Amino acid sequence: MNKSIPFITVILTMLVGLNSCNVEPKEINYGEDHCYYCDMTVVSKTHAAQYVTKKGKAHMFDAIECMVREINDRENEEELAFMLVADYQNPGVLMNAHKSTFLICPEIKSPMGANLSAFSTEGKATSVKDDLGGNTYNWIKLRERFADQ
């Protein structure tokens, strides 16, 4: 019996195990995935969100406000590896929540009624705000805004 076969089996098993535990965002299956917070089907490519725990578990949200409320409820953002929000001006593209600028604007409806959208830059959010009204927030201020809800 070849003694190197068990060693190779152990190495291959370890490699497969490490590969299956990748901590990275997952693709949102629009029309199929359900919101982790409210259980609605995720359909809006302009308002969806996702966070991934440091253990690699991805949770999808049908609206940014659902993700913000869930994170506020859990009280420990440190457990999360990624917090991603849909870029309102580029449907289906997810971006880092910490680097995004958020707009609450009654003229832009979001799935759960908070009228909350995310933009890739402050300038883009301000331009839409100047045209349609509303208020802009960074990630910290947005979490504060939803803390009492």
Nearest to 101 by CA among 118, 88, 86: 118
Full residue range of the structural domain in which residue 45 is found: 23-146
**Confidence (pTM):** 0.83
- Give the integer Cα–Cα distance in Å for 30 and 101: 23
113 torsion bin: left (phi>0), alpha (psi -120 to 50), beta (else): left
- Give the integer Cα–Cα distance in Å for 32 and 40: 10
Task: Per-residue pLDDT tens, the chain, 149 aa: give them.
Answer: 555 555 554 454 554 444 456 899 999 999 999 999 999 999 999 999 999 999 999 999 999 999 999 999 986 788 999 999 999 999 999 999 999 999 999 999 999 999 999 999 999 999 999 999 999 999 999 999 999 76
Please state the domain count of the chain. Answer: 1
Q: Is 129 helix (H, G, I), strand (E, B) or coil?
A: helix
The verdict on residue 65 lying in a domain is yes
